[in-house]
Amino acid sequence: MDSKPLAVVILAAGKGTRMKSSLAKALQPFCGQPLLARVLETVKPLKSERTLIVVGHQSEAVKSRFGGEAIEFAEQAEQLGTGHAVQQAEEALEGFSGTVLVLCADMPLIKTGTLEKLLERHEQTLAQCTLLVLKTPEARDFGRVFQDGEGNVLRIVEARDCSPEEKTVDEYNAGVYCFDKESLFKALREIDCDNDQKEFYLTDTIGYLAGRRNKVQSIITRDSDEILGVNTEADLKRAEQIFHREASNR
C-alpha cells in the first residue's frame, strides 16, 4: 500500500502559565534544547510533506527560533481550545490532500516508533481518524475514550466533563491523532464550545465523525511516561529524568 502524503501539525500556542516562567511553553528548556525542538526531532524521521506549527503566545519568538526551511506556521491569536488551534491550520493546508498527524509541543517523550505505528494503523484500516490511547489502571486526569466491542472509537469525554460512571473507564486519550485531512476540517467546522471550559475541543471531532459512520480507530499504549505532557516545573524535571534514564539504557 502506498502511503498517503503526510502533514504534521504541532500545537505550540500555549502560555505555560504553571511553568512559572516568562518563556512560552514551547520554548521551555528541555535537556539543553526547547521542548518544541525535541518534538520536531521525533517527527523528522516520518518524512512529512508539510510540518506546521500552530503558535500563539510569544509567536514571534517561536518563529524566530524555529523558522527555517520546511517549517510553516499558523497563528492562534486567541487560545480557544485545541479544536480552535487546529482550525488555524486549515488555510495553510488548503492545497494539501492526505493524512494530518496532530500532536502537542509539550510531549518530549513521545517516540517516533509509536507515531509510525499510529500512521500504519491509520492507513491499514482506511480510517478517517486514528488516535493513541493510554490503557492503565491508574487514575489520570485525561479524557476517557469510549470504544465498542469491535475496536471502533465512539467518543471522547474530557475529564472535567465526565460523570462518575464515565470516570471508571481505564482508557485515556493521549492527545495524538491521525486524521484524513478533509474529514478533520469538516468536523472542526461542526463542533461547538458547549462544555465546562467553553472551548472548542479537538476531541469533539471524534464523536462527530463516529456518529456519522466514519471509521475511527486507535492503537493502545501502556507506557504513561511516553505521553507525559509538561505543564509544570515538576513535570519538566520528571520528563528530563526519564529521558536521561532511557538514553543511558540504549
- Each residue's pLDDT, cut to its tens digit, for the chain (250 residues) gives 568 999 999 999 988 888 888 899 999 999 999 999 999 999 999 999 999 999 999 999 999 999 877 899 999 999 899 999 999 999 999 999 999 999 999 999 999 999 999 999 999 999 999 999 999 999 888 999 999 988 899 999 999 889 999 999 999 999 999 999 999 999 999 999 988 888 999 999 999 999 999 999 999 999 999 999 999 999 999 999 999 999 888 7
The 3 state secondary structure assigned to 203-247 is CHHHHHHHHCCCCEEEEEECCCCCCCCCCCHHHHHHHHHHHHHHH
What was the pLDDT predicted at 214? 96
- Side chain identity at residue 160, one-letter code: R
Residue 49 half-sphere exposure toward CB, CA atoms < 13 A: 13
Flag whether the pTM goes above 0.85: yes
Strands (E), 84-241: 99-104, 129-135, 144-147, 153-157, 171-180, 216-221
Q: How is residue 38 written as a grid cell?
A: 525535541
Q: H helices of 174-213, where?
A: 181-188, 204-211
Distance from C-alpha of 178 to C-alpha of 7, rounded to nearest angstrom:
10
The domains of the chain, with CATH numbers, are: 6-249 (3.90.550.10)
